[in-house]
Structure 1
């Protein structure tokens, strides 16, 4: 591990706050270190004692006459700052603060945490916490922790590393995994994350040779872009991140001038990040267990075709239903495969997919037949993986299946999973054989399908990573504090590559010469002070003659003067009105955590009613833009539903890419973009209205 080596694998540890009170955090940490065989030096610190637990006890950190890699601080909050000053004098590199009473406790605690970080940064000390349970390096016996992490049951060694902002809940995750035989490398509780945060640890664990998978529980992150990059790097290294985000129903508060901003929430941005990074979203404890069991097998699912075989037809149906929602399908077996199956499958069974082996097939006398059947199926080119339903098979039959399946599975890269509802008290021996052989067992067919679906998505995202757009785009041209009218906004987007309608801007009082103009037309008031023109009667639609246009101009000017008397009017915009096609809405919000995020959705009257919307973090490529459009519930309409025209989806994708590159290139200056409506037609796409909102000097929308 290149980062934090001597934090997570310290050679020496000082523990400030040991006490005869056995419940004190410092005392618990010291005794946990000794009980778990920590091989380094331990230096208890408390001026009240000369010795503590047969170890020399020191009055302060500075009094220790040897180098100290890590200081664990478990004293009351008010005493933490003097201890930190001592750590600075001692030139300690890492401090772990178990104590609470910081920003989680109110104004005094906020100031205390600010001062804590100030001392640490001034001295080059990296902090874990405060207000955390600490961490455990299971392999090295480093239990720098107190509370639940130090208590029984003891976690087994393994390849999973867990990082959690909530120590108590995080350890609940660890126990759920341990119950299913999953072992751990690190369990790290980060608490307030004043300095070192979850993303820092994820980045470090990617470089740890003994970490195979990373699990994280977070309530938030300071930098969504770093989390995106960390997730991509973890996936590329074959160490996918399973992330549980707490607080997903809380929407970010934004001063929104656009429809785009009013339709977004923080959780939307996390979901976009998952899709672009390969981070796997977790919402239930059993999902972590299921996905880890399959991920640790090291197998890849490169094709969506799954073969289901076993003794329960209902189980196959349930698997197929769940698999379809995950992008899986029961593939057709080749004629050659079915010829190989015919001699080894009972005549009353079935050799198409799903393969019915019939009741009682898992028996000692059928071992050779089962192996032939398994190899025939897994070698079929259309088969990406296999689910074997042993369902309620008893102890002896389950053991036969376990021995044959594990023997076959180790010879192929394709995943093999098992559904078994037989209690562990009956088929425990078979379960152990499956576990030792890396064949995961699931308690329901749908959970098996969901796990395989994750494997398929990860493989697709990993293969697409090379096509992810880089940090590129048009040169930044927007200044902080600029205010743009509709016409100026459309000109900006047109230059960036987003098609816009033909417009004529008429100064107030001037009537148009519309020779050669295509009707119908629309007339709209133009003012930087009126972002929502329809609210002041500033829009007139379906104007079919020059006379109607002239009347409409008078009306929108009159309405604006009456309903927005303080607004500076630049004039009236007359545009050719786009007809036909489908009305989309597109735009972006520059989030303080995630940066520019682009959205697209069903527009018109559906925009805020249905909220049929998809999001991605900018910038991105055309394939990602197509994914966004494919996610919309209205997507079938684009393909000519009910005899309608087939719409130019590729043109919409290209416009989204151009928008993403524009907002990324101008991320320091553009706060929001609203393109509403964006008309998708059979021969292209065009923005009929747009609003570009620059950032104020304070960093928010202008």
Structure 2
């Protein structure tokens, strides 16, 4: 596995911190390696012992005569730095630090972690951890771990690799998968991620031929762009990436910070990254199990049409209730399909969708009829996937169904899922046949619907990600968009709108005047007009009485100019005033709010939402990471609750959604190109009109200069 091959496939491992105390992490590591048949060399390290479990024990890493690929450190935190120094001097390429007591423990731990990284970087050594359970490479019997990873039941080898920031909870996920018959290639607990992080490990696993699917649990990442990139690369490589992001609520985010001191960002940004990269989000252990089982078949429905067939009508109803919100539908079967079904289904059954096979249908005597029914259903062009509800069918009937469906599955590209609630102790033989045929068996109809919906969504995401990548590949590198502002104060509205107009975002027609003596501008504009104070120091003009609207005469304009100037000078005496902006008032249409936040983890993020009176009433917003294309922008608009208003309601004309999408895409390109300079952009409101869009007000805040960098690992 390229640069991480010596980490996950080490030829020699030094384990520091072995002891007669079987509970000590170092002792557990050596015994796990021996017990599981690790074929490489093991070097226990503890100056108090000459031997450990039949192996020569060394006083220090420096005393080991041979080369070492990995040093596993399980000593108390205060003893870690000398071991890291010795390993660095010896040229060990990787260190796995099990010990806690680093940045998660307070200021002393922060300094200890900083020094540890400084030592490692000096020699080029990479670190996993600290404060982690370690990892296991199940194909090569490398158990560089302690605790739950080393205990029974032993995980089965397979094609799924798991990367988890939380060792204990991550292993809970692994155990649930193991119980469902899912095998693993790698199980890796990363802990504090002071150096090597989850995203870097996922990137390495994408180049591992034995890894087909990647499952990850994260509490935060310090590089959201790398997460987006690795998700897109996973999609391009055809390796599904399932990710559980914890800390999505305010309380959850606080728990994450106290647990691993991870950097967390707004969950909305993670959600945007998932959508734009095709990362499959999971939120429950059972969901992880179901999705992995469904993905192992490697079949993806071309659409949302599903045929449900079986012996339980209630199961079909539950499937439909769960499937419809997720984009699935019980599709209409063709006349040809229904005619074929009528020849093999009893008269008391039903040949429309859902297909009622009637009680007792799954039996040895009915094997041929079952095969005909399933094949006819799969052949229907409206059917993209089939769910077979075996429900509580017993041992013999379940085995017949498994054998028939297993034979059919090999000859179709359409996925088949099965709902069975019979206990495994009763239908174990059938479950083994289903597993061999890569047909997932789910414990409820709603879980079957969820698995199929995920497969359909994944196929759609693949096309979407490929299209978006092609559309944004020519976006330019960072460029200067305005003179750097050392204080980071806002630009005036006039300056901001001029910059946005140059970026391709339509803005209102404006004229700056210095005072009432220039009110003659009224004759060159179309009333009604708006007057606003112009100052880089006044972000919220209405708060200081700096806005007047609905101006229809020259006299009203003169009075308005005088009033906003006087208000600004009284209520913001220290503000720099550049003049007064006279703007043609936009009438009609619908107000949106659009903007950019240059997040420290994800970089520039573009958000859009309902404006005006709906802004606080609906809380209606969505976002994507910049840059993106117009199709993605259109998807953003389609996600808004106010979307139907743009199509025209109560006799009002439809509004120009395409123009709004073009403006959002242009804003995203600007945000990306100006990422080194722009901290925030606020366009409020953006009027979507029957023909076009107009940005009526805007603020741009330059990016603040970076503060002192926190302790973190190098990027790779």
Q: TM-score range by the shorter chain?
A: over 0.9
Separation in 2, partners of 1:81, 1:71: 13
- Tell me by how many angstroms 1:478 deviates: 2.6
After TM superposition, the structure 1 = structure 2 runs for residues 72-471 of structure 1, keeping only pairs within 5 Å, are 72-250=72-250, 266-468=266-468, 469-470=472-473
Separation in 2, partners of 1:214, 1:698: 34
Choose the corresponding residue for 2:576, options 543, 565, 568.
Answer: 568
Structure 2: state its 5+ residue gaps: 254-263, 709-716
What corresponds to 1:476 in structure 2? 480
> Is contact 1:330-1:353 (8 Å) kept?
yes
> Is contact 1:14-1:70 (8 Å) kept?
yes
Separation in 2, partners of 1:543, 1:447: 60
Separation in 1, partners of 2:392, 2:57: 60
Separation in 2, partners of 1:316, 1:634: 33
What corresponds to 2:527 in structure 1? 519
> Is contact 2:362-2:400 (8 Å) kept?
yes
TM-score (norm 1): 0.96
**Partner SS for 2:438:** coil
CA RMSD of the aligned region, Å?
A: 1.8
- Tell me by how many angstroms 1:251 deviates: 9.4
Structure 1 residue 636 corresponds to structure 2 residue 636: no
Separation in 1, partners of 2:483, 2:704: 9
After TM superposition, the structure 1 = structure 2 runs for residues 519-668 of structure 1, keeping only pairs within 5 Å, are 519-668=527-676
Choose the corresponding residue for 1:508, options 507, 515, 524.
Answer: 515
The Cα offsets for residues 622-654 of structure 1, whole Å up to 9 and x where unpaired, read as 111111001101111111233321111111000
- Tell me by how many angstroms 1:682 deviates: 1.3
> Is contact 2:265-2:601 (8 Å) kept?
no
The Cα offsets for residues 342-375 of structure 1, whole Å up to 9 and x where unpaired, read as 2112222222222222222212222111111111
Say if 1:55 and 1:635 are closer, same or farther in 2 by CA, change over 3 A: same
Say if 1:518 and 1:632 are closer, same or farther in 2 by CA, change over 3 A: same
TM-score (norm 2): 0.94
The Cα offsets for residues 504-539 of structure 1, whole Å up to 9 and x where unpaired, read as 211134342212422222111111110111111111
Separation in 2, partners of 1:641, 1:415: 41
> Is contact 1:252-1:266 (8 Å) kept?
no
> Is contact 1:478-1:694 (8 Å) kept?
no
Say if 1:321 and 1:644 are closer, same or farther in 2 by CA, change over 3 A: farther
- Tell me by how many angstroms 1:133 deviates: 0.6
> Is contact 1:478-1:666 (8 Å) kept?
no
What corresponds to 1:257 in structure 2? none
Separation in 2, partners of 1:598, 1:667: 12
Larger mean Cα displacement after TM superposition, 614-623 or 412-421: 412-421
Separation in 2, partners of 1:102, 1:15: 20
Structure 1: state its 5+ residue gaps: 254-263
How many corresponding residue pairs?
Answer: 690
The Cα offsets for residues 184-235 of structure 1, whole Å up to 9 and x where unpaired, read as 1111011111111101100011111111111111111010001111111112
Separation in 2, partners of 1:281, 1:115: 36
Separation in 2, partners of 1:691, 1:189: 44
- Tell me by how many angstroms 1:691 deviates: 0.8
What corresponds to 1:491 in structure 2? 498
> Is contact 1:251-1:266 (8 Å) kept?
no
Larger mean Cα displacement after TM superposition, 501-510 or 276-285: 501-510
- Tell me by how many angstroms 1:323 deviates: 1.4
What corresponds to 1:261 in structure 2? none
**Partner SS for 1:3:** helix
Separation in 2, partners of 1:479, 1:97: 47
